[in-house]
Amino acid sequence: MADEPAFTFLDPGDLVDGELSLAVVRRIAPDASKGWVAAYEFEMRVPGAGRPAGRLNFRAQEHPLLDLYRGHIGYGVEPDRRGRHYAERAVRLLLPFIRRHGFSAIWITCSPGNRPSRRTCERLGAVLVEVVELPDTEEMWARGDREKCRYRLDL
């Protein structure tokens, strides 16, 4: 089997929405042995906060596990920063960058009981395609996850 071409990380440029900005804090190389694709990790930053308001991860290559369970986007907002739509705003800031990577649609997954994350997907215009059961071989199973909502966001 031929080696896959090397992934080229891109410069996202300035990603700012009012007081919210995204900053790349890590670029993660692909690791086929773990089913990992190239990814970017961003911090959600708000002036004067003293620490990140949250994190956002963009998995920048295609992989069947992303479509089914893991999603192309992952986000988390610090408890004291919730209710300001930072996750939604951060994803919106990232959409042009995601398009630059050749995507016309992405998958976002979350646990069925995670209403805030589900609401974020809905506010983004993502469509709930289905709720799937996780196989016990999936790494999230060990953390107690049993199902994932699969949202498709057309870009």
User: What confidence tens digit (pLDDT) does each residue in 6-61 have?
Assistant: 899 999 999 999 999 999 999 999 988 877 899 999 999 998 888 999 999 999 99
Residue 10 placed within a domain: no
What region does 4 belong to: left with phi over 0, alpha with psi -120 to 50, or beta?
beta
Residue 6 placed within a domain: no
Exposure of 112 by Cβ count < 10 A (0-12 exposed, 13-18 middle, 19+ buried)? middle
Domain containing residue 72: 15-154
Q: How many domains does the chain have?
A: 1
Query: pTM value?
Result: 0.92
Question: Residue 1: is its pLDDT beyond 80?
Answer: no
Residue 2 placed within a domain: no
Q: Which two tokens stand for residue 63?
A: 């992989």
- Asked if residues 118 and 85 have their Cβ atoms less than 8 Å apart, the reply is no
Summarised one tens digit per residue, pLDDT across range 86-145 is 999 999 999 999 999 999 999 999 999 999 999 999 999 999 999 999 888 888 888 888
Summarised one tens digit per residue, pLDDT across range 49-93 is 889 999 999 999 999 989 989 999 999 999 999 999 999 999 999
Pick the closest to residue 98 from 118, 72, 76 (CA basis).
Answer: 72
Residue 39 placed within a domain: yes
Question: Residue 2: is its pLDDT beyond 70?
Answer: no
Can you give the CATH number for the domain in which 70 is found?
A: 3.40.630.30
Please tell me the distance from the alpha carbon of residue 13 to that of residue 16, in angstroms, as a whole number.
Answer: 10
